[in-house]
Amino acid sequence: MPRRPEVFVRKLTPDEAQRLVKITRTARDRVRLRRAGIVLASVQGRSATEAAAMFAATAQYAREVIHAFNTQGFAALDPKWSGGRPP
């Protein structure tokens, strides 16, 4: 099976990088913290597989987070909770 091409986060401005570091330090939501950590690891040059291993996630999940961040920006870090079981 051929190896998938590596995915990295787009080039960030200094303000975006600083905001990302702040999120990883202050986030109380685990989903937001994990996603921000994966993006930050990608900014530092780590592959999606390496970033996923750091946060006990799958490589596919890390790729999805990176792709979402590249298209949606910081909105991609927020969890999308559904309404739950219908009445």
Per the CB < 8 A criterion, the answer to whether 48 and 66 are in contact is: yes
Rounded Cα distance between 43 and 57, Å, is 17
Higher pLDDT, 79 or 68: 68
> By 3-state DSSP, what share of the chain in percent is helix, strand and coil, each rounded to 5?
60, 0, 40
Higher pLDDT, 82 or 41: 41
Q: What is the pTM of this model?
A: 0.86
Q: State whether the Cα torsion 56-62-64-68 is positive or negative.
A: positive
Rounded Cα distance between 71 and 63, Å, is 13
Per the CB < 8 A criterion, the answer to whether 4 and 67 are in contact is: no
| Residues 9-66 pLDDT 10s | 999 999 999 999 999 999 999 999 999 999 999 999 999 999 999 999 999 999 999 9
